[in-house]
Amino acid sequence: MPNETTTERPHDDALPDVLMRVVSELYDVAHLIERIEPQLTSANGQALLEATTSMKVLQGIDLAVQKTRGLAEFIDTFTATIPEDCSVDISTALSLVKLADMQKALGAIHPRLGHSQPLSRASGDFEAF
């Protein structure tokens, strides 16, 4: 006789695991945004730092990084209190994610280590979509 407590559907994932994959993606986004600032300052030098509008853009980039990391830390912290047996069906949510790498990372059974966007891509490399 099958165990009555194992009624999970095949597409169910443990909610803490799903949330930790979201946390990983948020940290990845923060890192990618953070990489923009040095490129802007090295390309435009002192003139960029002296222009009020440019300084506001740089502050906006910094704020975006802080907010993204803050969201990741917030989700990471409360995820620890969610029981492992709490599960969700993420198939519909995954179908709405348009970036293939992100869809794969969020739907992974085992979270990946490192960043979804390789940092070693050569200049000029791009992904057509």
Residue 7 falls within a domain, yes or no?
Answer: no
Residue 36 falls within a domain, yes or no?
Answer: yes
- pLDDT score at 117: 52
**Contact criterion met (CB below 8 Å) for 90 and 18:** yes
**Contact criterion met (CB below 8 Å) for 115 and 38:** no
Residue 74 falls within a domain, yes or no?
Answer: yes
Domain holding 25, by residue range, is: 12-107
**Contact criterion met (CB below 8 Å) for 28 and 117:** yes
Residue 117 falls within a domain, yes or no?
Answer: no
**Contact criterion met (CB below 8 Å) for 58 and 79:** no
Residue 128 falls within a domain, yes or no?
Answer: no
What is the domain count for the chain? 1
Residue 2 falls within a domain, yes or no?
Answer: no
pTM of the model: 0.72
Give the integer Cα–Cα distance in Å for 60 and 96.
Answer: 27
Query: What is the full per-residue pLDDT of the chain (129 aa) written as tens digits?
Result: 444 444 444 568 999 999 999 999 999 999 999 998 887 777 666 666 677 787 788 889 999 999 999 999 999 999 999 999 999 999 999 999 999 999 999 998 655 555 555 445 444 454 554
Burial class (CB in 10 A: 0-12, 13-18, 19+), 21: buried
Residue 102 falls within a domain, yes or no?
Answer: yes
Give the integer Cα–Cα distance in Å for 58 and 42.
Answer: 13
